[in-house]
Structure 1
Amino acid sequence: MRRNCALTPGQLLKFYIALVCLSLTVATGFLLAGVKIILIFTAIELTAVTIGFLIYCRHALDFEEIEISGTRLLVRKFIAYKETVIEFNTHWARLSQPGEHEKIFFIEQTGQKVEIGQFLRREQFKNLISELRPYLG
């Protein structure tokens, strides 16, 4: 399950470079025309865009992965460049039934609990739960 992102970090970098070149070209044109104040606004614009793109890139590669192998259930989450891996036994793991409007559910087993489903649409959510149930005890 992956985050729905329109651009990969590589595509975003190309777009960012084009945006910076265009902004600096326009700012240089105004500077040559004698309007020096435009440099301040260009710097503010590029700073804001840079911060926004950095936040976007930080989460563009986020994913959740569930792997079932025999009696082993492995949940791997990669959120904001931090990877978490939790292992469950399929005989003891349980699914928490999500509420009507909840966007996530939990897989839990004796003190361990992990939230799953933050990247899914509602119709995918129910399919995932129905696929997981037969494997869990």
Structure 2
Amino acid sequence: LAVTIALYVYTRHALDYEKITISGKQLLFERSWGGKIQQHEFNTVWTKLVHNESTGKDLVLKTSTKEVPIGFFVGANERERFGKELERYLGI
């Protein structure tokens, strides 16, 4: 039973992903987590990339009205490079 449950959980998350698409001043963030897809749309002019205040290491896309944590699948050693690369497209 325990192996069956473990395989079920694994298969639910085997296809998890995050995708960022930037077109002009539109940033579309899409996350698939456990088979559920969430989409968030941002204007690159009004969006900042910040570090989560509680942990100090998680990345968050932030506007005046919403905050969306990102980068769950980015390793700790790659997070800084990923953040710098994404910031080039924000605030333009």
Secondary structure of the corresponding residue to residue 42 of structure 2: strand
Structure 1 portions without partners, runs of 5+: 1-46
Q: Which runs of 5 or more residues in structure 2 are unaligned?
A: none
- Aligned residue for 1:57, secondary structure, equals helix
Distance 1:75 1:115, change over 3 A: same
- Which residue, out of 51, 60, 66, partners 2:14? 60
Percent of pairs identical after alignment?
38
- The answer for the alignment partner of 1:92 in structure 2 is 46
Distance 1:51 1:58, change over 3 A: same
Match of 1:82 among 36, 39, 42: 36
> How many residue pairs align between the two structures?
90
Q: TM-score, normalised by structure 2?
A: 0.88
Change (3 A) 1:123 1:81: same
Q: Does residue 115 in structure 1 map to residue 69 in structure 2?
A: yes
Distance (Å, rounded) in 2 between the aligned partners of 1:127 and 1:98:
17
Instruction: Tell me the TM-score normalized by structure 1.
Output: 0.61
Deviation at 1:102, TM superposition (A): 4.6
1:48-70 C-alpha deviation (Å, 9 max, x unpaired)? 21111001111111001111110
Please tell me the root mean square deviation across aligned C-alpha atoms, in Å. Answer: 1.5
Show CA shifts across 1:47-95 (max 9, x none): 2211110011111110011111100001000000000000000000011
Higher strand share: 2
* Structure holding more helix per residue: 1
Larger of the two Rg values belongs to structure:
1
